[in-house]
Structure 1
Amino acid sequence: MKFAEFVDRYGATDRRRYLIGLLKNELDHIVAQGWLYRAFVFGSLVNSDKDEPGDIDVLLCISKPFGADFWRKLTASEDIHIKGCQLAPNFDSEARTVPPLRSCHGVEEMVRLFNESTKNTEEDIEISADQCVEMTL
């Protein structure tokens, strides 16, 4: 869903709009680099009617050109929790052109990666694709 629609649907309070703004800042920065992304929001912001959710939880896949710097979260705030996946294009040394950016993972793959990553932690978290909302600028 587009940013304006996302704010209309999930930004009913100042706290919710603040959290959504943190994500928008990150996505603006990614777009400014010329990178592709897919962002899936989950957790209480999109799955509850809490006026004051504690944070915003995001699955973020970024595709960037070969050799590009790694994405680093802009904000130092712990109010945004991002589980990221960064993709460089498939490099072909025989190619005479710049390889295209890879397509970002969809929600099913991002959820699978997230659930695998939490198995080796003390967090007992597992999510499903239907708990995620894709947000685009």
Structure 2
Amino acid sequence: DEFQEEMTLAGSKAFIGQPAPNFKTTAVVNGDFKEISLCQFKGKYVVLFFYPLDFTFVCPTEIIAFSDRIAEFKQLDVAVMACSTDSHFSHLAWVNTDRKMGGLGAMNIPILADTNHTISRAYGVLKEDDGIAYRQKKDMHAISNCSV
């Protein structure tokens, strides 16, 4: 089908109805570095969203909105994680920057580091020429149901 063909061309290994590509990476969780893998969430719903870069102006509002509403996701037994190709050190600096200064402030969700681009590539969101992950746009497809 057309969607699967587009995702294959983008190098994605993520397909609706199929197991989601596993990953293991360092994340910023509650201000500390922690190893996270997708298989930790086996049998649960997971919202994994991507954003291009730390310290950008649009991304913090979306990331903060997910973080601030984490209680609602937890009531539904849904894990939420953000991911970009920046390092965990950059993520920590962004988390440690006050929201009034363009930072994230304290986060209630893990911020995953994808410095080797394997997660972004596996999910078909890597912009290869820039080495950054696309953020969801109206004309882009979202993978809405892969199993963990």
Give the TM-score, by structure 1 length. 0.23
For the pair shown, which has the larger CA radius of gyration, 1 or 2?
Answer: 1
Give the TM-score, by structure 2 length. 0.22
